[in-house]
Structures are given as structure tokens and as C-alpha cells.
Amino acid sequence: MVMVTKVPPRPAPARRALRLLLATGVAAGSLAAVPGTAQAEDEKSGGTTLTVAVSQSIDSLSPFLAQKLTSTSIHRLAYEYLTNYDPKDARTVPGLATAWTPSADKLTWTYTIRKDSTWSDGKPVTAEDAAWTFRKMMTDPNAATANGSFTANFAEVTASDPQTLVIRLKKPQATMTALDVPIVPKHVWEKVGDFSKFNNDKQFPIVGNGPFVITDFKVDQYIKLKPNKKFWRGAPKFDELVFKYYKDGDAAVAALQKGEVSFVPNLTPAQADALKTQKDIKVNDAPGRRFYALATNPGAKARDGKTFGNGHPALLDPAVRKALFLAVDRTTIVDKVFQGHAVEGQGYIPPRFGSYFWEPPAAQKRTYDPATAEKVLDAAGYRKNADGKRVGKDGRPLDFRILCHATDPNDKAVGKYLQEWWGKLGIGLKVECLDSVSDPWAKGDYDLAFDGWSVNPDPDYVLSIHTCGTLPATPKDTGATDNFICDPQFDGLYAQQAVEYDAAKRADLVKRMQSRLYDTGYMNVMAYPNALEAYRTDQIRSITTMPEAAGNLWGQDGYWSWWSAVPTAQAEDDQGGSSTGVIVGIAAAVVVVVGAGLFLGLRRRSTADDRE
């Protein structure tokens, strides 16, 4: 229109933008080379580095607040606990304490604190540090956020001398050799004001007394640790331990293949199978610490006696629960769903915790047997109607719902099998997969649910969540209960084991609890999934698994894996050098080709302009 003649002649912006754009491309191409060389140089000078791929963000570096596994695993490395667990069989072994004895009335525990442990700032570790840590948790609710359950039963904690810690209890407590609480240096932490806001991530290195010292942290990028040369058990062999963030599992596997990380945990069966055939990579298919179970709603109720939720009443009949589990083919679940990377479920506690593991004797065991399941249902009065559906005495058909985690592919796959197996019995099943199952679960609005817990060397907690005391106070509250189980017989045994200081007798009680839980049919363990992980053998020569014979590396009860890891001292430099050379060469070639193409292209354009 009118503006046509007004436009003054000026350099074409489009073309300038284009040049800029292409220049960026060239820059990107050349970038492929430069830092590559920098990295290689770093490897030469920096010594040996063990890099672990992690995905879970750090919630806090304060041991008083941290609840996520990544954070607590790192605290394990930086702070010593009173006791530790033997990598061989998870027995309690000395940690910061060298010895411990309960009093005759079971109410006073005396710990001897070792003399050869020092804080990384040079000050000696004393019983007063431990006493202060526990007292802080007892008096300041904010300091009890993460580990308060350990001190809930403490009456008084004192340090009678630098080597003697005395804990007086309100009532006997068998878990006193399993106090998984990081002991912090009093002289550093007594300066902290508000424990609910202090994240311990501003000043590095962080003063600790574990095998490693935390030296650097960048949120969601990395956490770096250096070996504690003065560690009483001996210094770790690697010169540096880095936890590097990979938010995506496949990207972490790619980093392992490339050698950017030394270790990757939590592999999927597909990833593990792909890595198995690769050179210099060892896949560790270790017995896990989790169980994977089918929970049955026992009729949710609160401590005030009020019932709530809409669990199917037929599930209150032991015969129905028995029949359901008789029709679950655990072998198929292990073989097909877990693709062999799991062990068939027996009792509540996985076999890796040998002293507490219980397996039902043949007479008690509910072996997969659909025919018997049919008979059990027939005998209990659940007859098939004309459509082939089982109907209760009240005329209500046996149509159940199962709560499934939408994020867990195993839940969905097992759900499909259950539909098939129970369908043959004449029982309907609706698989309800949700992103968050916690709301219907807490309200008791479910019939069955996929359930699973990670078990600690001391089983007290995973057993406690099935006691009446953990039910919500009223239907409006939430309790620590897992599945609303409240069984007087189970509670009686729980109370006995909680005060039993004799390890063998306590183990026996724990086994009897599992037997009872098995019989009730409210928690049916289908499998113990394996821990699948992989590491580079050209970076890690040897490393201690837990259990030592065949165990896992990530999330151990103790610092054994990273503390024991021995670097592979190979001529890595040569490799790095040659590959860097290739990289530089190729990048240079790319730059030249792109540059030449650009030059020619732009020239052609400008001559074309002239020709017009």
C-alpha cells in the first residue's frame, strides 16, 4: 500500500538473522570438541572417581529432616550410626559404639563409644555428641521430623563420660541395636536455630565422621564426596564419589554405556537384558529387600471402634480370602511379569534377612491350586449362578475392585492375570489404576490392593504397621497402619517381640507373627522383586554386595558398597586421549563442511540477487 515507497534501503534483517543462526550452528558443532578435551585432562589429574547415577532429588541434607532414600543413603556415608549391619548376614555389628549392654530391668542401655573416631574438622567424637543428638530429637519436634520414631520411647539420654552413652527407656524396646540415626557433631549443630528450616547445604565440607565427607552439592545436578582419610575402619579407595543426576532411566543407562557413570541402580528387566551382553559392564541381579503383596481390606476401622470405607463384605470371610490366593499362580507372576527377576513369595519378610525369614510348611502353604479354590468357595456357600458368577449368601455377586498404582507396570500386568484366574472361579475383578492410591486407601474405599514395603534388617516397623495401635484414632484421621489389620493374636506376639532382647527368641516370635499374618490372608506376598543394577568393571574392580554372597549395592544397610569399592587402575588415559582425538577431528571436519556450505550458499544467494 502506501508504505511501499517509504521503506528505506537497509541491510536485510532476515539475512542477518540467518547468518547469526548459522553461526550458532557452527558454534554448536565446534562445542562438540572443546570440553571433550577438558574432560580427558581432568581424568588424568583428578584421580579415580566413582560416579553413581541417581534420580531422586535430595529433600534435605539435614539428617533431622531427610526422608528420601537418596538423602538417607548419603547420610549413611557421612555420619556414623551407633551400630551397623554386617554385610554378610545383616547381623548388628559395631558402628560408633563398640559394645552395648542392657540393664537387668531392660530399661537402661549403656553404649561404649569408640575412641578412634574423629570429626572431619579434627575434633574427637564423644558420647556427648550422641547424647546431644538424641536429646535434641526428644525435645524439639522439628528435629524429630525424620527419625522421631526412634526416640519416642526414650526417657533420658546422658553421657556419663566421653566414652559412655546411657539411654533410659520408658518401656523395654528390642530395637536398641538398630537405631538408624545419624549422630551429628554437637559443636556444629548446637548453633542451628530453627531445625525445620535448616538444610545443612550452605557450608562445605560438611563436618561428619563417616567413610566419606560431603564436599559439594548442586541441586539436581550432583553431590560430591571425598574419602575421609581418618575413617577408623580404613579410608575408601576411590579418590572421589559423585552422585550424578539422571532423571530418566534410559539416559542413565546410556551414560553407563558411555562410561560417564560407573553405576546405575533400579534397572528395568529390559534394560538389564540389554546391558548383559555389553563389554565391561556387569549386571547385578540381586535379591531385593521388598515384598510385593496382595492386600485385602479387612473392613477398615478406627481406634474409636467406628468402621468406615466400602470394602466388599465377602472378603471378611476367611474362605474367600483363601480361595482368592489359592488361585494366584506365583510362578507365572515371577516368570512373566518380573521376567524371572524376582523370587516367589512366601512369608512377609524377604529371604535376604535370613534370621527372620519364614516360609510356610507344606501343610500350611496355600499352593497354587484353582481346583481346591473352587471347592473352598463351594463349601463356604458361594455358589455359581446361571451366568457362572459366584454369588454370596446375601445374593451379592463376588465382584471385587483392586487398587493399582498407575505408575507401576507390574500392577497392571498382575491385574490382568488376576482377572483371568479369578474369572475362571466366577469372581469378577475391576483393576482401578490411579496416580495416587493414598486417598481411597486411607478412606478404606477398596476391596483389594497391590502393596509392597521395603524391609529393614530390624523388622519392627514393617510388623508394627499391622497392629491395632496404628489404626487411625477416628475415621477422619490417618494412622500409620498399612492395611487396617487389627488382630489380637498378632498384636500379642508383636508386644512380646518388642521387648525380647534375646535375638533367637525374638526371631522365633517374628516368625510366628508371619505365620499368623499368612493364615489371616489379609497380606498375601506374591513375590520378592530383585534389585537390578549394573556397574562398569573397567572402573570398579571389586565391590562388596549385601548380603555378601549375592546381594545388592544401592540402598544397602550400611556404607559397605561405596566404602569397599576398589578402582580399576587401567590405562584409561590412552583410551580417553584417542577418543578425544577422534572427537576433535570429526568436530573440526563438521565445522569446515558446514562453514564451506554456508559460504557457498550465501554467495550463491547474493549473486542471484545481482542477477535479478
By CB under 8 A, what part of segment 233-292 binds other proteins?
242, 244-248, 250-252, 254-255, 257-258, 260
Find the binding residues for other proteins in span 584-603 (CB under 8 A): 586-587
Alpha-carbon gap, residue 591 to 589, rounded angstroms: 5
Alpha-carbon gap, residue 523 to 226, rounded angstroms: 44
Residue closer to other proteins by CB (options 180, 285) is: 180
Which residue's C-alpha cell is 500500500? Answer: 1
Count CA within 13 A, CB hemisphere, residue 27: 6
Count residues near other proteins (CB under 8 A): 86
Other Cβ atoms closer than 10 A to 151: 20
Residue closer to other proteins by CB (options 99, 270) is: 270
Other Cβ atoms closer than 10 A to 186: 21
| DSSP code for 9 | P
Q: Looking at 13-63, which runs of residues are DSSP E strands?
A: 49-54
- Mapped onto helix, strand or coil, the DSSP state of residue 127 is helix
Among 105, 394, 435, 574, binds other proteins (CB under 8 A): 435
Site map for other proteins, 24-43, x if CB under 8 A? Answer: x--xx--xxxxxx-xx--x-
Alpha-carbon gap, residue 24 to 72, rounded angstroms: 43
Residue closer to other proteins by CB (options 319, 583) is: 583
Residue closer to other proteins by CB (options 40, 333) is: 40
Alpha-carbon gap, residue 253 to 259, rounded angstroms: 10
Q: Does residue 579 interact with other proteins by CB under 8 A?
A: yes
HEC profile of 208-254: CCCCEEEEEEECCCEEEEEECCCCCCCCCCCCEEEEEECCCHHHHHH
Cα angle 302-303-309, degrees, rounded to a multiple of 5: 5
Q: Does residue 190 interact with other proteins by CB under 8 A?
A: no
Cell digits of residue 167: 539411654
Find the binding residues for other proteins in span 68-107 (CB under 8 A): 69
Residue closer to other proteins by CB (options 387, 435) is: 435
In the chain, what is the straight-line distance between the N-terminal and C-terminal CA atoms, in Å?
A: 23
Of the ranges 20-28, 262-270, 376-384, 388-396, which one interacts with other proteins (CB under 8 A)?
A: 20-28
> DSSP secondary structure string, 360-379?
--TTT---S-HHHHHHHHHH
> Please, are residues 223 and 242 in contact by the beta-carbon 8 Å criterion?
yes
Of the ranges 75-83, 220-228, 308-316, 349-357, which one interacts with other proteins (CB under 8 A)?
A: 220-228
Of the ranges 57-65, 102-110, 347-355, 515-523, which one interacts with other proteins (CB under 8 A)?
A: 57-65
In the complex, the smallest distance separating the C-beta of residue 4 from other proteins, rounded to whole angstroms, is: 5
Residue closer to other proteins by CB (options 61, 527) is: 61
In the complex, the smallest distance separating the C-beta of residue 33 from other proteins, rounded to whole angstroms, is: 8
In the complex, the smallest distance separating the C-beta of residue 420 from other proteins, rounded to whole angstroms, is: 29
Q: Does residue 111 interact with other proteins by CB under 8 A?
A: no
Q: Does residue 221 interact with other proteins by CB under 8 A?
A: yes
Alpha-carbon gap, residue 498 to 495, rounded angstroms: 5
Q: Does residue 155 interact with other proteins by CB under 8 A?
A: no
Residue closer to other proteins by CB (options 54, 113) is: 54
Find the binding residues for other proteins in span 112-141 (CB under 8 A): 141
Find the binding residues for other proteins in span 371-390 (CB under 8 A): none
Residue closer to other proteins by CB (options 56, 364) is: 56
Find the binding residues for other proteins in span 464-523 (CB under 8 A): 470, 473, 478-480
Peptide bond into 211 cis (omega under 30): no
Among 105, 387, 394, 439, binds other proteins (CB under 8 A): 439
Q: Give the torsion sign (CA, 260, 261, 265, 270).
A: positive
Q: Does residue 21 interact with other proteins by CB under 8 A?
A: yes
Of the ranges 19-27, 118-126, 157-165, 310-318, which one interacts with other proteins (CB under 8 A)?
A: 19-27
Of the ranges 10-18, 98-106, 109-117, 593-601, which one interacts with other proteins (CB under 8 A)?
A: 10-18
Alpha-carbon gap, residue 526 to 537, rounded angstroms: 34
Find the binding residues for other proteins in span 442-461 (CB under 8 A): 442, 453-454, 456, 461
